[in-house]
């Protein structure tokens, strides 16, 4: 018998990988369509919706910050926009957000390891993504890839830190509201 949690974890990972290719190869329109469908599917079947919503929103915020830093520091450029990262790249961050509590939880829950893995995997992902998409490097790779690696030393640990803080805050507010309603 196949464990449903295992099937969900594999589906979650495959959804991200397919989404990576759709976002990189098909541009913003199809990236948006795929990401909306993937997120809708994810939130229909997942039980921890609040945790995952926080993960997605923080991933998008960190992604916008990360990629805007690369864009405005002259490391990368996008055909679609000179001021903000394109929608297809934002979609990749949203898709990453739905993996963190599921198929990537094994690394995400270990800040040191997630930072180290991010410092290795993210430059490789950007290298592949830029070669397949409309993005272009604006600086030499020997300059850009170490910058991405350094940023990713903190991206996943920072994401985890922020997620836990936001969820703790929401939990306190929710518990406070429940307590005040029960006293009424």
Continuous H helices in the chain: 4-45, 49-72, 87-97, 105-108, 111-132, 141-183
Single pTM value for the model: 0.92
Q: Which pLDDT value is given to residue 61?
A: 98
Each residue of 121-149: pLDDT tens digit? Answer: 999 999 999 999 999 999 999 999 999 99
Residue 168 has a pLDDT of: 92
Domain encompassing residue 160:
4-183
Rounded CA-CA distance 21/19 in Å is 5
Among the listed residues 102, 96, 95, the one whose alpha carbon sits nearest the alpha carbon of residue 6? 102
Q: What is the pLDDT of residues 75-118, one digit of tens each?
A: 999 998 889 999 999 999 999 999 999 999 999 999 999 999 99
Indicate the pLDDT class of residue 174, thresholds 50, 70 and 90. Answer: confident
Q: Domain total for the chain?
A: 1
């Amino acid at each position: 018998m196949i464990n449903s949690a295992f099937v969900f974890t594999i589906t979650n990972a495959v959804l991200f990988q397919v989404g990576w290719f759709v976002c990189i190869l098909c541009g913003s329109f199809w990236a948006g369509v795929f990401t909306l469908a993937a997120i809708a599917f994810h939130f229909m079947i997942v039980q921890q919706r609040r945790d995952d919503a926080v993960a997605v929103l923080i991933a998008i915020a960190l992604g916008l910050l990360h990629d805007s830093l690369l864009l405005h520091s002259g490391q990368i450029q996008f055909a679609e926009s000179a001021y903000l990262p394109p929608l297809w790249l934002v979609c990749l961050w949203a898709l990453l957000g739905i993996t963190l509590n599921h198929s990537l939880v094994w690394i995400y829950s270990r800040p040191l390891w997630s930072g180290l893995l991010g410092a290795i995997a993210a430059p490789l992902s950007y290298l592949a993504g830029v070669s397949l998409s409309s993005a272009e490097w604006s600086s030499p790779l020997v300059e850009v890839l170490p910058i991405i690696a350094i940023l990713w030393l903190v991206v996943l640990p920072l994401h985890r830190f922020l997620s836990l803080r936001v969820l703790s805050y929401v939990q306190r507010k929710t518990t406070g509201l429940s307590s005040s309603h029960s006293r009424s």
